[in-house]
Amino acid sequence: IFLLWIMLSALIPGGFAFVFVAQACDTGKEYALKRLMAADEEANKAIIQEVNILKQLAGHPHIIQFLSAAFIDKTRSGHGMAEYLLLTELCVGGSLVDVLTSRTTPLPPDIVCRVFWQTCQAVKHMHNQSPPIVHRDLKIENLLLDTEGKIKLCDFGSATTQTYQPNNSWTAQQRAMLEDQMNRCTTPMYRAPEMVDTWNNYPIGCPSDVWALGCLLYMLCYNKHPFEDSAKLRILNANYTIPSGDTKYSDYHPLIRGCLQVNPEQRLTVSDLLERLAAIAETRGINLREPLALEGKRIDSSTRPAPAMNNGPTNNGMDRTSSPSAHQIPPSPHKVPPPHPPPPSRPPPV
């Protein structure tokens, strides 16, 4: 129910999605409100799938907590597109990418262990679902810090239960369509070899997330990405370099190599990673559940000035009171790839 919510500030304007800080009028508590617009039925199904996945994963300590969702029909939205509102907890610590970019040196090895262990816990929860859920867009920007200093995985717009097994019977057109879908659902530098080129007939599923985890671990250790140029040939050949003479992060070298295997069937699983991280933690005396004392870009209502409050619509075009056109989002069995809409015709809200 959105009667209690007022828009305070836009956090992340994006193609057809915006994230705001929202505040409960009665308690003053702040939340994150994601606003998505669907231009067609495919986009509608994709957003409903994202909501259903958030509901299914709710309750895990390292996955952003879903609270509620509603939608406004395209005939009532004022811009000809259906509008969806997703309410989640607000992770005031901001994104882990802000932590890394604000540092002149990489994270200490013990912090790396805790960050990566908490991230793997979230991914394991996804892979343990029946059927398994593949995130497909694991990256440093999608790791948030909550009020207690814990890692929270977010952004499930690319997540799916669908897996693929190309074989010699596949036509060039089928492969091109699948590669195009991978391009729309993933971030280039985190893309696994089987997503980049389907001609090796490797399966596409949970191991693709493990490849992305390998990229994440490398970035946590060295404050740079192993495939920063997103070069297709380098990814296809797992052509990356662990800094020569590095002993500081030597415990993590086998994990990085185990994740960044070209053949997905030869990669470590998330359970393997967690077991090895637990062994590292025991040897080094690391408390994996200890809050992370990391300084990032704090996110709250002071991030930007609040818009003027009145009885009309706010400057983002949405009325701050509940609308008779707002409905609960129904569950959907459909599994479709996320949409790739054109840029919006009007400027993003501020």
Closest CA to 33 of 43, 18, 48: 18
Angstrom CA distances, 272 to 116, 121, 258, 265, 301, stand at 13, 11, 10, 13, 40
Q: Which of 40, 73, 110, 137 is catalytic?
A: 137
Contact 85, 71 (CB under 8 A): yes
Closest CA to 40 of 340, 263, 349: 340
On the question of a cis peptide bond just before residue 207, with omega within 30 degrees of 0, the verdict is no
What does the alpha-carbon distance between residue 159 and residue 314 come to, in Å, rounded to a whole number? Answer: 31
Count of other CB atoms within 10 angstroms of residue 199? 13
Q: Which residue type, as a one-letter code, is found at position 206?
A: C
Q: Would residue 251 show up in a list of annotated catalytic residues for this protein?
A: no
Q: Which residues are catalytic?
A: 137
